[in-house]
Amino acid sequence: MVVVRVAPSPTGDPHVGTAYVSLFNYAFRRKHGGRFILRIDDTDRTRYRADSEAAILRELAWLGLAWDEGPDVGGPSAPYRQSERTELYRNACEELIEKGAAYRCDCTPERLEKVREEQQKRKEQPRYDGHCRERRLPEGPPHVVRLKVPLDGETTFMDGLRGAITIAHKTVDDQVLLKSDGFPTYHLATVVDDHRMGVTHILRAEEWINSTPKHVLLYEAFGWPLPKWYHLPLLRNADRSKISKRKNPTSITWYRESGFLPEALLNFLALMGFSLGEDKEVFSLEEFVNAFEPDAIKTSGPIFDLTKLEWLNGVYIRQLAPAELARRLRAASPLARDADDRKLLATIPLVQERMKKLTEFDELADFLFRDAAPAAPPDLVPKGRTPAETAAMLRRARDVIGRSDLVPATLEAELRALAEAEGLKAKDLLMALRFAVSGKKVTPPIVESMCVLGREACMARVEAAAARLGG
């Protein structure tokens, strides 16, 4: 039975790294059955942000990474918040002290600071100096509890991707397990919960590798069986540094609000750590789940390439059925939200091939949904024509539109015939009409756009442009 978990800390915007780690855990659980737990690691009260948990739940739900156990989105919470489990951790700490695997420490911040300064002077790695290890302080006045890391020897553990990892105890600090505020640190709470929740496989970010020996020592002290660890390669900025806000958007909310589709983001994140074959870059979540094996996760740090994600998002947008794209657009764009259903559906074939992000809809299609005719720029006048001539030509085009049945193929033929009669290149006439109708130089195909816009609006805009030319 596979039991996996993701354990985000509610310290800010929901991080794309959380989506990445969740996806791999989700896939593992889907492939093998079992349970996928969402646990909120909220024991660091200094970094806690009240709105963060709800945002994490919302974005994981948006991505469709359903968890089997954990807090409900917008509903009452299952007991998977560490801040609600402090009694467990305190009891676990007492057990460790009795077993001689942990000890109380009442060193003041001033003393610890002095120790650190002296170590730095001697060019040693700063760490707790063991002052309280053998003092056997009684329970009572403010103290912390520290892990009693053996002075000699080493800890070896298996990583599913890297094999055996050995870390010498002299490089491992006597980690604080319980803080003086009564809250556990990450290390204690994680081990206690992973054990109690029956977690069998821990897929988490690579940055925790150096903490794992502390966790192994804890499992051993408690006499609990070890889970299997898989440390996933970190997402990286283009310069290979760990992905950071300064160099890349890192908030899942940003990706949603910027018009990315959840299926594209998942496909992209899967590619970061897994290969479905040499050239296979586009695949569904189902395909990923079926192919997924944790042992085959890549270990090289993947570069988070926003341009590639945009390309992939465009691929997914083009694959959507028009009615489904309309639904997504309504959720992503204020313009689409208020749009008439038929008009929105009629617009989709004009924009679907041209969008990399849902949010581009507004820029592409606003002229079809706004009431006012946008002011056409002066480039409206074709080369070699005067403004007055152009105004007269636009009015003849307006009359053509008035008589047309406004089916794209017919309207196009009618406008081409007019251009010929005017001694103009069709493309110059269509450009002038594009400016008149949209106020822009670049739009979806203009004849189709005019058919969507409708007779009245087209005629009014063409007339307004003619009038502005002083005709």
Of 8 and 294, CB closest to ligand GLU: 8
Binders of ligand GLU among residues 174 to 193 (CB under 6 A) are 190
Binding of ligand GLU by 41 (CB under 6 A): yes
Of 241 and 290, CB closest to ligand GLU: 241
Residues carrying an active site annotation: 245
Least distance in angstroms from the C-beta of 136 to Zn ion: 12
What binding mask, one character per residue, do residues 200-239 give for ligand GLU by CB under 6 A, x or -? ----xx--x-------------------------------
Task: Report what 190 binds from ligand GLU, Zn ion, none; CB cut-off 5-8 Å by kind.
Answer: ligand GLU
d(CA 152, CA 150): 6
d(CA 93, CA 105): 13
Q: Comparing C-alpha atoms, which of 206, 212, 141 is closest to residue 175?
A: 212
Task: Report what 78 binds from Zn ion, ligand GLU, none; CB cut-off 5-8 Å by kind.
Answer: none
Q: Comparing C-alpha atoms, which of 244, 344, 228, 352 is closest to residue 297?
A: 228
- Choice from 27, 132, 272, 469 touching Zn ion (CB under 5 A): 132
Terminal Cα distance for the chain, rounded: 80
Angle at 278 between CA 277 and CA 281, to 5 degrees: 75
Beta bridge partners of 3: 35
Q: Comparing C-alpha atoms, which of 66, 63, 67 is closest to residue 268?
A: 63
Binding of Zn ion by 127 (CB under 5 A): no
Would you call 51 exposed, middle or buried from its count of C-beta atoms within 10 A (0-12, 13-18, 19+)? exposed
Task: Report what 392 binds from ligand GLU, Zn ion, none; CB cut-off 5-8 Å by kind.
Answer: none
Task: Report what 352 binds from Zn ion, ligand GLU, none; CB cut-off 5-8 Å by kind.
Answer: none
Of 205 and 426, CB closest to ligand GLU: 205
What dihedral do alpha carbons 68, 73, 78, 83 form, nearest 10°? 120
Task: Report what 131 binds from Zn ion, ligand GLU, none; CB cut-off 5-8 Å by kind.
Answer: Zn ion
Pairing type for strands 144-147 and 176-178 reads antiparallel
Binding of ligand GLU by 7 (CB under 6 A): yes
Binding residues for ligand GLU, how many (CB under 6 A)?
8
Give the number of other CB atoms < 10 A from CB of residue 113.
11
Binding of ligand GLU by 48 (CB under 6 A): no
Tokens, residue 127: 């760490």
User: Of 3-11, 285-293, 409-417, 419-427, which segment contacts ligand GLU by CB under 6 A?
Assistant: 3-11
Of 205 and 418, CB closest to ligand GLU: 205
Q: Which residues of 314-343 are buried (b: 16+ CB within 10 A; e: fewer)?
A: bebbeebeeeebbebbbebbebbeebeeee
Of 205 and 306, CB closest to ligand GLU: 205
Residues that bind Zn ion in the complex, under the rule CB under 5 A: 105, 107, 131-132
Residues that bind ligand GLU in the complex, under the rule CB under 6 A: 7-9, 41, 190, 204-205, 208
